[in-house]
Amino acid sequence: MNKIETNLKDCYILEPKRFGDERGYFESTTKESLEELGFSRIFQVSNSLSGKGIVRGLHFQKDPYCQAKVVRCHRGAVLDVVVDMRKDSPTYGKWTSVELTPENGRMLYVPRGFAHGFVSLKDDTLFEYYVDNLYKPRMEGGILWNDPALNINWNQIFKQYGIEEPVLSSKDKVRVGINECDVEFNRRPRKFLITGFKGQLGYDIARELEERGETDYLALDIDEMDITDRDQVMRIVTSYKPDVIFHCAAWTAVDKAEDMKDKVKAINVDGTANLTDASIEVGAKMIYMSTDYVFDGKKEGLYKETDPVNPMSVYGETKYQGEEEVRRNPNHFITRISWVFGINGNNFIKTMLKLSETKDKLNVVDDQVGSPTYTRDLSNLLVEMSYTNKYGTYHVNNDGYCSWAEFADYIMRSNDKKTIINPVTTEEYLELTGTKQAYRPRNSKLDKSKLVENGFEMLPSWQSATDRYCKELSRKKKY
């Protein structure tokens, strides 16, 4: 493939090599050639059909669903027009145009952070897009096609190609100019730091970043950075200078915490304070994972983010104290999660499936009610949050509620297991097993409506999450 530079930084005209004879020609575009440009993957292929004089653009998607595109014309002809919207780019606010036809075989690589559009030069023009990220209608954006600040010579273009009157959608006619646009794209990749990388959530956040084309991240666990070591934390964070810190490291052994309060505090409170101080020092956003255990579970109905907390365990108390530390950084997200399961660690689903191989019947409590949380779904939302400034405290779980017994029963039935789930009260379970437990909230129903109110999507149902997770488990044979 021949790669031709344009006047815009990182934007290229592509000419696949054609091999032909009197019958026609053959050409290929390889995955490797696209990756060399910075195009991470083909997420979808889209086509549009346009008559002569139709103008589409200038469009983009907001982060974190910003898209790179490779575009071409299969029938007819277009003049493709793109604008560099990356604030730190040497060609910010500048534009270029390229004629694309089936005859010249040219394609245009449009990086993330560009606004894209075209004018169709012939009737019945078929235009094709290869895009590297998910399409989200709620993340659509654009700038005014004839914004005077861009100085695109549309009148000259229309005259050159014999277009008397351009045709635009009603939405494209009224978009804002580039100087009024509140979306900020940058050429410099964002930098992310993840603590607790070997846990379920830290592992999936790294996967999520990779799949979005974000490769500049530092994923650490205790052997690389002990968050209770203040000097080490400050040294690593100030050296790497992340834009975002995903703080997943924590003491999560709820029962053992009761007898190890000082150690749990050192990790969940002091360690979080160290990271918060470091995040403030480098100006990083702080994303902290909290828990339903900050509530006592005695309320009727759903818990809102504004409800008073009343942790009844060492774990819950130290996680809430961690929240208070994080709030010192004004650019913070606190996400209260519960009943977490992911591929890279132990969890309730793995335990149930393993026990089903040897047990005909299991006693599971049915008076503790909450929402399971799949780390794949959660990491998707957390990364999306990290691109925004919609700071604050959020309740984040998969949609719907169930008891532990209902959760266990669904796991068995959906995996064709014969093990019977016997619902019992917490008191009955403790008596039957002869175990001692830390206090657990009976009602962990968290109100998640704040997510939607702030423009985020509700996570899928816990049943859907369980099904998808179990499919991944079966492929990896992880339990």
Q: Which residues touch 298 (CB under 8 Å, ≥6 apart)? A: 310, 441, 442, 443
Check 92, 203, 315, 394 and give the catalytic one.
315
Per residue in 398-440, pLDDT tens? Answer: 999 999 999 999 999 999 999 999 999 999 999 998 888 999 9
3-state secondary structure of 368: coil
* pLDDT of 281 over the 50 cut: yes
Rounded (5°) CA angle 320-344-354: 105
Pairs from 359-362 (Cβ < 8 Å, separation ≥ 24): 359/419, 360/418, 360/419, 360/420, 361/419, 361/420, 361/421, 361/422, 362/408, 362/419, 362/420, 362/421, 362/422
75-112 pLDDT, tens per residue? Answer: 999 999 999 999 999 999 999 999 999 999 999 999 99
Spatial separation of the C-alpha atoms in residues 409 and 464, rounded to whole Å:
15
pTM > 0.75: yes or no: yes
**Domain 192-476 belongs to what topology?**
Rossmann fold (3.40.50)
Q: Is 25 an active-site residue?
A: no
Write out pLDDT tens, residues 214-266. Answer: 889 999 999 999 999 999 999 999 999 999 999 999 999 999 999 999 999 99
- Give the mean model confidence (pLDDT) for residues 135-149: 94
| Distance, CA of 189 to CA of 215 (rounded, Å) | 8
Q: Tell me how far apart the alpha carbons of residues 247 and 74 are, in angstroms, rounded to a whole number.
A: 47
CB 223 within 8 A of CB 170: no
Distance separating alpha carbons of residues 194 and 252, to the nearest angstrom = 17
CATH code 2.60.120.10 for 2-173: yes
pLDDT tens for 438-474 read 999 999 999 999 999 999 999 999 999 999 999 999 8
What's residue 28's pLDDT? 84
Q: Which pair of tokens denotes residue 32?
A: 């490797």
Q: What is the mean pLDDT of the chain?
A: 95
- Which residues is 393 bridged to in the sheet? 334
At residue 479 the predicted structure's pLDDT band, cuts being 50, 70 and 90, is very low
pLDDT band at 478 (very low <50, low <70, confident <90, very high): low
344 C-beta neighbours (distance < 10 Å), count:
18
Pinpoint the residues of the chain covered by CATH 2.60.120.10: 2-173
Residues of the chain with CATH 3.40.50.720: 192-476
Residue-wise pLDDT for 338-392, tens only, equals: 999 999 989 999 999 999 999 999 999 999 999 999 999 999 999 999 999 999 9
